[in-house]
Structure 1
């Protein structure tokens, strides 16, 4: 079928809205009419080839929409369902079979390799095949996805704002609730006040952390962090020593840190701000970092752990987050701004400049 999509042709280029061809879903796949799709930093790093996704491609991996058609072997999804599209996993490797699809052994191939689970592609522009992203490519009016990365959601919630639950929002909240699992009354510092950091703060509030410290450099974002659950804020541009300020607030350091910025110096701050036996969760796509192992980790029995997609099983975790949203405990609507598909390049620029926390592209 002929659809409209935002195509990335070359490294760093603007998205181009074009008519492209989408193949029909295969036996284990579903066809979704996309309502909206969140803009994520991972889309930007794929466009800019920091993650080498084969180009040309249709990016977008936080899609939400309504199911139009299902393949012959699909049993958990039916036409008319409201759905959120999440990451792709194989379903048969050791990690998938033991309930850890976020660490699927085929994760990089299926999400960044440009192909669907069977190794083929579904998108064409003229005679040229286009790469698929995260097994969905949701910067388009329609998408085909494997049943495994499609999550049925409540029909009484605004579908436009739910797409980011498939990646950014579940990453932030899941890092705290599924990964760190902080004990009631403990302390946590979150470095970075983007959508991942702010949903981590929401998760920490849900978990019952006593002290929740937001660390960032934008006053408006820090004020929003307080509104969402932070008990203390630290403006890294105004405080001479962020680590010492956190230790002052907590009388010695926090039990947990969440690092979302991917900036090497801030990674070290997240480690040194921990008290003895503390744990630092690394969430950002971080490159080389110089760490003094004795001083930052081993000397005080600390841990540094990487979490993928918030250690989330989307079919289980996303409905839980929606329940929290409906109760007013996970107010993701305060993070989003909606843009038309034709405004996608403006949305990415606003995200980069920090104007919008979580842009959402409406189809």
Structure 2
């Protein structure tokens, strides 16, 4: 069966997204069709519309979604109609060296399936019959989506799908950066630069890990106030500081054990590295422009034994970590309800993107039901 569905599409770079009716084809071998219930509006979707992430248009946006399976393709045995699933924008083939060594977020297959399904084709076309690319093997900002089983994770049916959807990117990326990538120690000092959707979740991750001091840094007082709700113990408005690095070194009495860059700018990555004490670790989480660079003093790596590293998708093992995060939510240790600033109908998608670009939301969510 194929379905007609409304979808959010990027037709041209640096132009507003459009909502149009598309055709979603039936699942083939190893694939499932999902009736989407919700999709988070993530900054990475915006980055696709402005060319920061080079996805050639036309592309169906969306990678942070959740819904119910309505059809399964040939050979699918681990999923059935009615299962609740969350999309994973990174494939997990289970066979490459990265999957085999416990780092599926770096899966080779994912790198080949950035705008298609793993076999290099798509199940999406416009009403004129022309194929539409999909965002990171997903394209779930639509009423229906056909995905490969390597891009979906089954989740508890007792969790609202509008909440479960957030696990698929922003929550996993931020919380995972703290828990999986940095492995924040209990009692440590942490600093998070940027209090958008990912930054708030990095703050949550630090809090869950037991950090004793969590410094949130942003240029918006409203976002800094929200950061306190998610676990920040101190806040710094960088607009009010002549030298934000010096201010944080003073506040932390010598520097942080861990710092997280959640903006996507090389200069801020350098600041995150600059606030470290000896032996500290700075984690770059934000997605920067391909031309952006970070400059640090090389000798400080040696004499201070500092680490500058990256975190992609929170170093996720989706089939292991998604259920864990759901469990933390059910145990009231992970905030998901509080992340959703506003919900939108799919026809309101252009407004959702405008609100995100203006920094009005912790997370906007498009709901389909």
Q: TM-score, normalised by structure 2?
A: 0.94
Q: Which residue of 2 aligns with 1:218?
A: 220
Deviations 1:11-40 (A, max 9, x none): 122222222111111121111000110111
Paired residue for 1:179, among 178, 181, 190? 181
Q: Which residue of 1 aligns with 2:108?
A: 105
Q: Which residue of 1 aligns with 2:308?
A: 304
- 8 Å CA contact retained: 1:268, 1:296: no
Structure 1 outlier segments of 4+, above 4 Å: none
- 8 Å CA contact retained: 2:110, 2:118: no
Name the Cα RMSD after superposition: 1.4
| CA distance, structure 2, for counterparts of residue 29 and residue 76 of structure 1 | 11
CA deviation after TM superposition for structure 1 residue 263, in Å = 2.2
| CA distance, structure 2, for counterparts of residue 241 and residue 295 of structure 1 | 22
Q: Which residue of 1 aligns with 2:123?
A: 122
Q: Which residue of 2 aligns with 1:338?
A: 343
CA deviation after TM superposition for structure 1 residue 54, in Å = 2.1
- 8 Å CA contact retained: 2:269, 2:294: no
Deviations 1:220-250 (A, max 9, x none): 1111111211111111111222212222222
Q: TM-score, normalised by structure 1?
A: 0.96
- 8 Å CA contact retained: 2:52, 2:288: no
| CA distance, structure 1, for counterparts of residue 83 and residue 57 of structure 2 | 32
Matching of residue 96 in structure 1 with residue 107 in structure 2: no
- 8 Å CA contact retained: 1:59, 1:139: yes
- 8 Å CA contact retained: 1:272, 1:296: no
Q: Which moved more, 1:269-278 or 1:320-329?
A: 320-329
| Residue correspondence of structure 1 range 19-38 to structure 2 within 5 A | 19-38=21-40
Q: Which residue of 2 aligns with 1:4?
A: 6
| CA distance, structure 2, for counterparts of residue 292 and residue 159 of structure 1 | 42
CA deviation after TM superposition for structure 1 residue 53, in Å = 1.1
CA deviation after TM superposition for structure 1 residue 292, in Å = 3.1
| CA distance, structure 2, for counterparts of residue 309 and residue 315 of structure 1 | 13
SS in structure 1 at match of 2:35: strand
- 8 Å CA contact retained: 1:271, 1:297: no
Deviations 1:123-173 (A, max 9, x none): 111121111222121111000111122111122221112212111110000
Paired residue for 1:357, among 357, 362, 368? 362
Alignment length, in residue pairs? 361
| Residue correspondence of structure 1 range 1-363 to structure 2 within 5 A | 1=2, 2-89=4-91, 90-110=93-113, 112=114, 114-125=115-126, 126-287=128-289, 288-294=292-298, 296-336=300-340, 337-363=342-368
SS in structure 2 at match of 1:162: helix
SS in structure 2 at match of 1:128: coil
SS in structure 2 at match of 1:129: coil
Structure 1: which 5+ residue stretches go unaligned? none
Q: Which moved more, 1:168-177 or 1:91-100?
A: 91-100
Change (3 A) 1:38 1:290: closer
